[in-house]
């Protein structure tokens, strides 16, 4: 699977890394640190939705919201997809909170942890795959390398007995020590591709690769809970899979590196991955621009007030939550212009609509994003038909 990293002095990749660092730094300063946690909860659900979509699992945002509230469908397949979503969000939540293992993400041990942490939360029905050639049902063991040969499209990954050797080379090439930070950022796409090329697990490799990329970007000071590369990969799924396939290709002649695989294909995939990351950061930066966000929220809240689903003064409370990260209950009368009783009614309505949340009935209030408001406050976060199923 050589070459493992794009050759040095590729100007296109160097420029992409500079842009990526600058965009990531600007996004980090867009929102209040407390509000960042609320946005992170929303982005984890979004990331899960798009990661599922790449796997061919269309789990609607409303179903994900319900599952997170422990409201599971009675329909078996729909319930399974909800359980899969909860598992993904749980694992990414550990990464975002820094509660993942203190191991470099581009490693065999970290990959096994990701696979085990995700798969052990799946229903048993989802831990079986069928051999297309023989019809044999094979069990997926959480965290364990596969013990059977597989084929992914045209690509035939290494045989099971060779997996430890390939994963050892993977660790040596992508460990925290060999490359400086800028080269590591250039190489995140290579990590993603070569892991999928090895395909160490019987199933779940794509999911692990995307979570590994998320964790790696976070460790490199680029990734945060505010954005997800999975959205960009899913929205360009055809290009994503074509470039993965291109990077699988053998060397294209004497000017195409010195390894067994194409150097140009690897560079092209790395550039695509960095481009996608930059695009997603810019997208979220636009959505989180405070003035624009508040304008969208105000328009929506005014419509809700006219429909008598919210009370006057509601927007002032939500605005405070955006700008200050949270709202002290004692401030709500002054914000809304109501006496204590009227202020409590405003608060109760916002809590009932899911626009605010609190740890207890006396705790400070923070912004929340149920599916109904996401479609208005964060347009195009999901595809236009994603939230239509009731």
Q: Is 148 annotated as a binding residue?
A: no
Q: Is the dihedral of CA 40, 195, 193, 120 positive or negative?
A: negative
Residues 307 and 166 in one domain: no
Task: Tell me, yes or no, whether 2 lies in a domain.
Answer: no
Is 304 in the same domain as 238?
no
Residues in the chain: 390
The pLDDT value given to residue 8:
79
6 domain residue, yes or no: no
Helix 205-219 vs helix 76-97: crossing angle, to nearest 10? 20
Pick from 265, 288, 311: which residue ends a domain?
Answer: 288
Task: Please give the residue range of the domain that contains residue 168.
Answer: 11-288
382 belongs to a structural domain: no
153 is in an annotated binding site: yes
Residue 154 annotated as lining a ligand binding site: yes
- Can you read off the two tokens belonging to residue 317? 């409370």
Residue 29 assigned ligand-binding role:
no
Question: Which tokens in the block code for residue 191?
Answer: 């990590």
Binding site annotation covers 210? Answer: yes
Q: Is 385 annotated among the ligand-binding residues? A: no
- Same-domain pairing of 358 and 222: no
| CATH number of the domain residue 350 falls in | 1.10.10.10
Q: Are residues 206 and 278 in the same domain?
A: yes
The rounded distance, in Å, linking the Cα atoms of 10 and 159 is 33
pLDDT (tens, 9 = 90+) of the chain, 390 residues, equals 999 999 877 888 999 999 999 999 999 888 888 999 999 999 999 999 999 999 999 888 999 999 999 999 999 999 999 999 999 999 999 999 999 999 999 999 999 999 999 999 999 999 999 988 788 999 999 999 999 999 998 899 999 999 999 999 999 999 877 789 999 999 999 999 999 999 999 999 999 999 999 999 999 999 999 999 999 999 999 999 999 999 999 999 888 888 899 999 999 999 999 999 999 999 999 999 999 999 999 999 999 999 999 999 999 999 999 999 999 999 999 999 999 999 999 999 999 999 999 999 889 999 999 988 999 999 999 987 664 443
Looking at the structure, do residues 220 and 301 belong to the same domain, yes or no? no
Integer distance in angstroms from the first to the last C-alpha of the chain?
Answer: 46
Q: Is residue 4 part of a domain?
A: no
- Considering the domain architecture, whether residues 306 and 269 belong to the same structural domain is answered as no
Query: And the tokens for 125?
Result: 């029905």
Please tell me whether residues 42 and 101 are part of one structural domain: yes
Asked whether 18 and 277 are in contact (CB, 8 A), the reply is: no
Is 65 annotated in a binding site? The answer is no
| Domain annotation covers residue 311 | yes
Q: Is 207 annotated as a binding residue?
A: yes
- Cα–Cα distance for residue pair 382/375, rounded to 1 Å: 8
Domain finish residue from 260, 288, 316: 288
Q: Are residues 296 and 272 in the same domain?
A: no
137: β partners: 130
Query: Angle 109-20-30 (CA atoms, 0-180°, nearest 5)?
Result: 100
What is the pLDDT, as a whole number, of residue 48? 94
Is residue 125 a part of any domain in this protein?
Answer: yes
Give yes or no for a contact between 47 and 280, defined as CB atoms under 8 angstroms apart: no
Give domain status of residue 166, yes or no.
yes
Of 239, 270, 288, the residue at which a domain comes to its end is 288
Burial class of residue 195, CB neighbours in 10 A (0-12, 13-18, 19+): buried
Q: Looking at the structure, tell me whether residues 156 and 253 fall in a common domain.
A: yes
* Cα separations in angstroms, 341 against 309, 310, 311: 18, 15, 13
pLDDT on residue 128: 95
Average pLDDT, the chain: 94
CA distance 84 to 87: 5
Whether 342 and 270 map to the same domain: the answer is no
Tokens 């422990």, located at residue: 70
Q: How far apart are CA 382 and CA 374, in angstroms?
A: 9
Is 155 part of any known ligand binding site?
A: yes
Indicate which residues carry an active-site annotation.
199
Looking at the structure, do residues 284 and 297 belong to the same domain, yes or no? no
Per-residue pLDDT tens over the stretch 335-362: 999 999 999 999 999 999 999 999 998 8
Residue 298 sits in the same domain as residue 358: yes
Residue 175: what pLDDT?
87
CATH of the domain at 195: 1.10.3290.10
Is residue 383 included in any domain, yes or no?
no
Name the domain count of the chain: 2
Residue 259: CA count within 13 A, CB half-sphere:
17
């Amino acid at each position: 699977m050589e070459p493992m990293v794009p050759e040095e002095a590729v100007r296109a990749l160097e420029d992409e890394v500079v842009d990526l660092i600058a965009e990531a730094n600007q996004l980090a300063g867009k929102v209040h640190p407390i509000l960042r946690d609320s946005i992170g909860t929303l982005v984890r659900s979004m990331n899960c939705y798009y990661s599922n979509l790449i796997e061919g699992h269309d789990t609607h945002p409303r179903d994900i919201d319900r599952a997170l509230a422990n409201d599971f469908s009675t329909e078996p397949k729909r319930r399974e997809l909800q359980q899969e979503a909860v598992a993904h969000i749980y694992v990414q939540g550990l990464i975002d909170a820094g509660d993942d293992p203190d191991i470099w993400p581009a490693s065999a041990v970290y990959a096994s942890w990701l696979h085990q942490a995700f798969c052990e939360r799946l229903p048993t029905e989802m831990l079986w795959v069928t051999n297309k050639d023989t019809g044999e049902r094979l069990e997926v063991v959480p965290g364990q390398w596969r013990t059977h040969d597989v084929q992914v499209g045209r690509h035939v990954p290494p045989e099971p007995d060779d997996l430890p050797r390939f994963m050892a080379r993977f660790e040596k090439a992508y460990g925290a020590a060999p490359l400086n930070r800028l080269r590591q950022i250039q190489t995140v796409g290579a990590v993603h591709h070569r892991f999928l090329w090895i395909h160490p697990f019987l199933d779940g490799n794509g999911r692990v690769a995307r979570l590994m990329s998320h964790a790696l970007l976070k460790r490199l000071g680029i990734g945060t809970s505010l954005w997800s590369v999975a959205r960009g990969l899913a929205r360009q799924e055809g290009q994503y899979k074509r470039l993965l396939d291109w990077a699988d290709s053998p060397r294209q002649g004497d000017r195409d590196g010195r390894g067994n695989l194409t150097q140009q294909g690897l560079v092209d995939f790395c550039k695509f991955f960095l481009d996608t990351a930059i695009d997603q950061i810019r997208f979220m930066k636009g959505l989180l621009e405070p003035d624009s966000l508040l304008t969208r929220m105000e328009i929506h809240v005014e419509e809700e007030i006219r429909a008598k689903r919210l009370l006057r003064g509601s927007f002032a409370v939500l605005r405070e939550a955006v700008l200050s990260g949270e709202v002290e209950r004692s401030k709500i009368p002054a914000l809304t212009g109501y006496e204590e009783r009227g202020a409590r009614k405003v608060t109760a309505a916002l809590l009932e609509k899911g626009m605010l949340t609190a740890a207890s009935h006396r705790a400070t209030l923070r912004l929340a994003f149920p599916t109904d408001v996401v479609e208005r406050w964060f347009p195009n976060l999901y595809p236009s038909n994603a939230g239509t199923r009731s």
